[in-house]
Amino acid sequence: MLTFKKNALLGKISAEPLCMQYKQAWRACGDDKELLVKLALMQQSIPYFSHACYEHLGLTKEYILENFSDYINGKRVFDDVEGVNGYTYQLYVAFNGDLKAVADVTSLMWCISTHVLITATKCPVFYISNSSDVHISCEGYNSPKIYLFDDSVVTIEDCDDTCDVIIYKYSDNATVNTGKFCLKEPKVFNKELRL
């Protein structure tokens, strides 16, 4: 964690060192693991955090699994991370298996063969990174937004024509697939990763 913090403060993760507001927020967390996870789950933080992990700039999945296990993989749903009352967040790290999308914002890192079910009328946001391979099924009237990074893969397995799936690819190496029960093509947009 100290290496990650040093790399971030010196600007080794992005073109610029962290902004003053983010530095202050980080310092305010101290060693409080819950506050650190909440900071990492802010929607402006997730791409930065994911990229740093993918580039091996101080945090590994083993470190996160060992030191933050009480806060990841469905054990905690965080509320009001960014000051929006009732908006919920979750972090999954190296999670393999089935999960039901219950949070408004979910970050998935190093998740292989992870199957996500989005129940009817949900509009969740997913950040998929660190060589993840995620399969998503939509029950109907869904509008998920997916941010896809590095060489991660997302497959929309099941999606009827009432769903609107929007995917933002932040890497040419990221892959979007559709399964045989995907009745409506997702809208895919290529974006530039700016940290």
For the segment 33-44, what is each residue's pLDDT rounded down to a tens digit?
899 899 899 998
Averaged pLDDT for residues 35-61: 88
> For residues 87 and 139, what is the distance between their CA atoms, to the nearest angstrom?
21
Please tell me the chain's helix, strand, coil percentages from 3-state DSSP, rounded to the nearest 5. 25, 30, 45
pTM of the predicted protein model: 0.90
Res 118: pLDDT: 97
Does residue 29 have a pLDDT over 80?
no
Please, which pLDDT band fits residue 182 given cuts at 50, 70 and 90? Answer: very high
Residues β-bridged to residue 79: 88
Does residue 152 have a pLDDT over 70?
yes
Please, which pLDDT band fits residue 28 given cuts at 50, 70 and 90? Answer: confident
Strand order through the sheet with 105-109: 78-79, 88-93, 105-109, 125-129, 145-148, 166-169, 187-190
Does residue 19 have a pLDDT over 80?
no
Does residue 1 have a pLDDT over 80?
no
Please, which pLDDT band fits residue 72 given cuts at 50, 70 and 90? Answer: very high
Helices (DSSP H) in 16-60: which residue ranges?
20-29, 33-40, 46-54
The HSE-up count of residue 40 (CA atoms within 13 Å, CB side) is 28
Does residue 112 have a pLDDT over 90?
yes
> For residues 164 and 118, what is the distance between their CA atoms, to the nearest angstrom?
12
Which has the minimum average pLDDT: 47-61, 76-90, 132-146?
A: 47-61
Residue 133 tokens read as 């391979």
Report how many helices (DSSP H) and strands (DSSP E) the chain contains, helices first: 5, 12
Res 59: pLDDT: 82
| Cα–Cα distances in angstroms (integers) from residue 79 to residues 70, 76, 132, in the given order | 16, 10, 25
Percent share of the chain, pLDDT over 90: 69
Please, which pLDDT band fits residue 181 given cuts at 50, 70 and 90? Answer: very high
> For residues 42 and 142, what is the distance between their CA atoms, to the nearest angstrom?
23
Exposed/middle/buried for residue 187 (C-beta within 10 Å: 0-12, 13-18, 19+): exposed
Q: Please provide the average confidence, as pLDDT, over all residues in the chain.
A: 89
